[in-house]
Structure 1
Amino acid sequence: MTSNTLVSVKDLSVAFTQAGKTNLALDRVSFDIKKGETVALVGESGSGKSISALSILKLLPYPAASHPTGEIFYRGEDLLKADEKTLRKVRGNEISMIFQEPMTSLNPLHTVERQVSEILKIHRGMSDSKARERVLELLNQVGIHDPESRLNSYPHQLSGGQRQRVMIAMTLANEPDLLIADEPTTALDVTVQAQILKLLKDLQHERHMAMLFITHDLGIVRKFADRVCVMTKGQIVEHGPVKDIFENPQHPYTKHLLAAEPKGKPPVSDTTKQVVVEAEDLKVWFPIKRGFLRKTVGYVKAVDGIDVAVREGQTLGIVGESGSGKTTLGLAILRMISSTGKITFNGRDIQENSWKEMRPLRRDMQIVFQDPFGALSPRMSVSDIVGEGLKVHFPDLSAAERDRKVARALEEVGLDASTRWRYPHEFSGGQRQRISVARAMVLEPKFVMLDEPTSALDMSVQAQVVDLLRDLQKAHGLAYLFISHDLKVVRALANDVIVMRQGKVVEAGRAEEIFDNPKTDYTKALMAAAFRLETAPEGVVSE
């Protein structure tokens, strides 16, 4: 351990004991973090990245978790052997951590000021007035506009990017020597992601702070880290400077990760194909009501006069930041929320259809949601989940016929049909998303809305799901409405693209034109953030 080394992890193993059984989750992992450098831990879900990071601060669920081997030295002291008093001094003061999902990390009952100032009062013993001054200074440093107006805000009143900025302010409150960032940008739009990464890098240079950065996005690692450790199945299989790992990977798993980006091209755009779903001048306005009598004083124009056409065997990509109206547009087209304008499905006007009249059409209009774990009932087996729609739309099918259709649908999405008696928690994230796709496909629909279906998945699993969707489209002539903020995935799937901002279309056209030759500043900002991880042009994209 050199004098420049801040943290040294040596032969660290982690075991979890449950119901008398012990499983090894981490197997003799070793890495160092030097002062002022960024070390990235990369790998797929379940590889042991977060367990390694949580071990540094002893935040694992002890005593179920144990360390059969290993030492973690911070400034020469083994944290695994440190008492609680020493750990309290280190946690949040000398070593801080940003978690993946700020909405679940922030207390929904406490204001921004209370949550940030609490750290200052506990670790620095600051008075209320001094803490408030420091909170305002921190919020300003992390790029919260007009920080005074945000002091009394609650987490649900902030955007995703603003919540992550508040989390960063909390972690930097006591000027730590090491910042652990666990997937801090996974749930964010590409433009906000680029802003957060630049913010972290600027703060690191300013404070000469070390950083342990956990991610499955290799594009970020290439731009952001100094050294990288590649993890799989609880072990580090390759490590070294970022340039060496990316340009000359040695281990097969590293090569697999680097080759895992969604590839291939969508079918050629064909305007002669039959239009399956069409919308004209579609509007979804939500009234703003105020006062004792709840009078309407204005409207939130979530979707404001948009035209859409989705053709057989084609994919229309809808891109834009959170809050741009992408999902609202999709739900309106499916007649799941009220809207004005004309909506036709297979040439039939469905805008005025009642709920009862829409029910028979639901078989042909399906949806795959963003979070497969939240979309699948934990109380139902996979067989019941996939077969539920068959019971509704094909009530005359016998149990045996229904089971055959379920088995066939699971096999078509690449799952073993014998697993249909299991429950969702017994599957990985990628497998759960395949179950969601099977649930939609078992009804043999003509139109499928895909709402961020790959955003919660690892890069390699994303690529698999993209290939699956492309194969299913080719086999069944499906029309897709693909909603995403991941432009790399959209590029691999979509023939045509609509770019949305604040409920309006800012640019639309053939996918290759939008990606290769964007016309508007906003689209250029999205492309720059997605493909080069640069910050958006000033004033174009704002929090």
Structure 2
Amino acid sequence: MTDQRSDHSSAPSGPPLLSVRDLSVAFRQMGVETLAVDHISFDLRKGETVALVGESGSGKSVSALSVMKLLPYPAASHPSGQILFRGRDLLIADEPTMRAVRGNDITIVFQEPMTSLNPLHTVGKQVAEVLILHKGYSEQAARSRAIGLLDKVGIPDPQERLDSYPHQLSGGQRQRVMIAMALANEPDLLIADEPTTALDVTVQAQILTLLKDLQREEGMAILFITHDLSIVRKIADRVCVMRYGKIVEQGPVAEIFERAQHPYTRELMAAEPKPMVRTDKGDGPVVMEARELKVWFPIKRGLLRRTVGHVKAVDGISIAVRQGRTLGIVGESGSGKTTLGLALLRLISSDGPIVFMGKPLQGLGFDAMRPNRRHMQVVFQDPYGSLSPRMSVSEIVAEGLTVHHPQLSDGERERRVVTALTDVGLDAETRHRYPHEFSGGQRQRIAIARAMVLEPSFVLLDEPTSALDRIVQAQIVDLLRDLQVRRNLTYLFISHDLKVVSALADDIIVMKNGKVVESGPAARVFKTPENDYTKALFAAAFDLETAGYGSPSP
């Protein structure tokens, strides 16, 4: 695998383009002031990439947003510090000055492009708007320039894609559109705030390569925000490690990775999910089975909305998951992973027999499926979106008990909620709080408790760690392993993070375009992948030697 790390020996020199000095950020709520960033300092030079890295809540994004003065003022304030951009202190700049800086001199790319792009406007209109507002382009000139920008960031058929809406593009293409918008006015500084977290490994590698190529062409500086140290090693020249609002360590990437001084930095580096020590679990009974399963979505066109074709999201897949084992499903975004999982749980329509614990499910209606629901549960990707903000943790976890065990007394229901929360490592005394009072990792534990309180036999884990930082990821993986051993659970684990899959799965299937291109025991597939697509997927994710399986076969 080619080493994609920056050439640190030729790191940029000269005066800083951006100099952050003794910066503090405080938030005031209900009369109480909380310090989110605590006296941090760092420099960023033209053509250089500096990474701010740390777990969720460490102050990374708050620091980056301060540079562009995008925090919710006056709730946010700066008790101390300077942000010097080309020698000018942006903290004391007025709004007209900042409007001139934003989009022209400094631009930003956020983590989730679907929340940044307007779903009602074409991508061409949104890219052109940047040029019209900041550079005074005519509509025709802006459209022509937008085509060139989309081509520059690797969008295929840019002239046709210009008239597409965001939902018609893949996740990677949407992120490329965001980068095109950020580069439209040839900025000196690009802030990239977790720009690859929601992307699969192959698209992630493409976006990182694109950013480095564009940096070389444009000579711009990049302030890269991430919680993933493996990305830092690939893209950054220098790194600042943040914790609890402070920079606890900073320096050249090679120096930090080889001779980290601070205990927290070493903890971050050791937080990679560890490969599972696989033991022979025997041939237990098959819990979930499907044969030649298909999920085809019709493509309708014309005034009469006639079906002219199908999107074959799942196209003839057969699987069998045995009790106590974990089947990992990997593949790029759009490969059909989640669609397969939802079809197995009968949450979307499909064709082909599905058998759960010896009972055929295909053809069962809503009422007939209900007795099976408590035996099959799901944990979703986003712990922020999957928990109702209007319900307390106790109500969230107890909801399934109310539906499936209405005969339980209030006391017995409360006892089961307490047990479920304790089992996932949460303090049961906090059960009357609401989701916004918990961290991302704690919210995911709440989601797991909600699934486990019904004592299911089969659990669909749909990207349950992708929104979490590495330290919390490792904790959640350990928790899932422990619950599986204690309860003899069967997991279907969907993820684009192959390091997490390698830490949890006994068996694996690799999907592409709705089909299985490779399958088998995880140890064998990771060590000696046979399919070219599988090899490319693994190469984009990590050097296989770090996963504990040895090098892949040539």
Give the letter for the 1:475 counterpart: R
- 1:283-336 CA-partner distances (Å, limit 9, x unpaired): 111222223333222221111111111111100001111111111111111111
Cα distance in 1 between the residues matched to 2:176 and 2:17? 25
Q: How far has the Cα of 1:519 moved from its partner?
A: 1.0
Where 2:17 maps in the other structure, the secondary structure is strand
Where 1:340 maps in the other structure, the secondary structure is coil
| Match status 1:375 vs 2:397 | no
Aligned 1:227-246 pairs, distance under 5 A: 227-246=238-257
- 1:96-130 CA-partner distances (Å, limit 9, x unpaired): 11111111111222221221112212222222222
Q: How far has the Cα of 1:266 moved from its partner?
A: 5.3
Is this contact kept in 2: 1:269–1:496, CA < 8 A? no
| Match status 1:467 vs 2:478 | yes
Q: Which residue of 1 aligns with 2:9?
A: none
Residue number among 114, 119, 136 corresponding to 1:108 in the alignment: 119
Is this contact kept in 1: 2:281–2:324, CA < 8 A? no
Q: How far has the Cα of 1:532 moved from its partner?
A: 4.5
- 1:70-107 CA-partner distances (Å, limit 9, x unpaired): 01111111111112222122111111111111111112
TM-score, normalised to structure 2's length? Answer: 0.94
The percent of aligned pairs where both chains have the same amino acid is: 71
Cα distance in 2 between the residues matched to 1:57 and 1:291? 46
Is this contact kept in 2: 1:109–1:154, CA < 8 A? yes
Count of equivalent residues: 532
Q: Which residue of 1 aligns with 2:217?
A: 206
Cα distance in 2 between the residues matched to 1:291 and 1:140? 30
Cα distance in 2 between the residues matched to 1:164 and 1:238? 30
Cα distance in 2 between the residues matched to 1:236 and 1:66? 19
Is this contact kept in 1: 2:107–2:191, CA < 8 A? yes
| Match status 1:386 vs 2:397 | yes
- 1:147-198 CA-partner distances (Å, limit 9, x unpaired): 0001111111111111110110111111111111100001111100000000
Q: Which residue of 2 aligns with 1:347?
A: 358
Q: Which residue of 2 aligns with 1:540?
A: none
Unaligned runs of 5+ in 1: 534-543
Q: Which residue of 1 aligns with 2:332?
A: 321
Residue number among 323, 334, 345 corresponding to 1:312 in the alignment: 323
Residue number among 61, 82, 100 corresponding to 1:71 in the alignment: 82
Is this contact kept in 1: 2:272–2:471, CA < 8 A? yes
- 1:7-37 CA-partner distances (Å, limit 9, x unpaired): 1100001111122221111111100001111
| Match status 1:449 vs 2:460 | yes
Q: How far has the Cα of 1:270 moved from its partner?
A: 4.0
| Match status 1:128 vs 2:113 | no
Where 1:376 maps in the other structure, the secondary structure is coil
Cα distance in 2 between the residues matched to 1:287 and 1:138? 33
Cα distance in 1 between the residues matched to 2:44 and 2:300? 53
Is this contact kept in 2: 1:266–1:495, CA < 8 A? no
Residue number among 409, 412, 415 corresponding to 1:401 in the alignment: 412
Cα distance in 2 between the residues matched to 1:349 and 1:122? 59
RMSD across aligned positions (CA): 1.3
Cα distance in 1 between the residues matched to 2:304 and 2:102? 50
Give the letter for the 1:198 counterpart: T
Q: Which residue of 2 aligns with 1:82?
A: 93
Q: Which residue of 2 aligns with 1:252?
A: 263
Where 1:143 maps in the other structure, the secondary structure is coil
Cα distance in 1 between the residues matched to 2:359 and 2:120? 48
Cα distance in 1 between the residues matched to 2:69 and 2:313? 45
Is this contact kept in 2: 1:268–1:495, CA < 8 A? no
Q: How far has the Cα of 1:526 moved from its partner?
A: 0.7
Where 1:29 maps in the other structure, the secondary structure is strand
Where 1:301 maps in the other structure, the secondary structure is strand
Cα distance in 2 between the residues matched to 1:288 and 1:157? 13
| Range with bigger deviation, 235-244 or 289-298 | 289-298
Cα distance in 2 between the residues matched to 1:503 and 1:360? 30
Where 1:45 maps in the other structure, the secondary structure is coil
TM-score, normalised to structure 1's length? Answer: 0.96
Cα distance in 1 between the residues matched to 2:521 and 2:280? 7
Cα distance in 2 between the residues matched to 1:116 and 1:288? 28
Cα distance in 2 between the residues matched to 1:392 and 1:108? 36
- 1:465-500 CA-partner distances (Å, limit 9, x unpaired): 000000000001101000111110000000100001
Where 1:310 maps in the other structure, the secondary structure is strand
Aligned 1:117-266 pairs, distance under 5 A: 117-265=128-276
| Range with bigger deviation, 309-318 or 353-362 | 353-362
Cα distance in 1 between the residues matched to 2:275 and 2:486? 16
- 1:245-299 CA-partner distances (Å, limit 9, x unpaired): 1111111111111111111415435451111111111111122222333322222
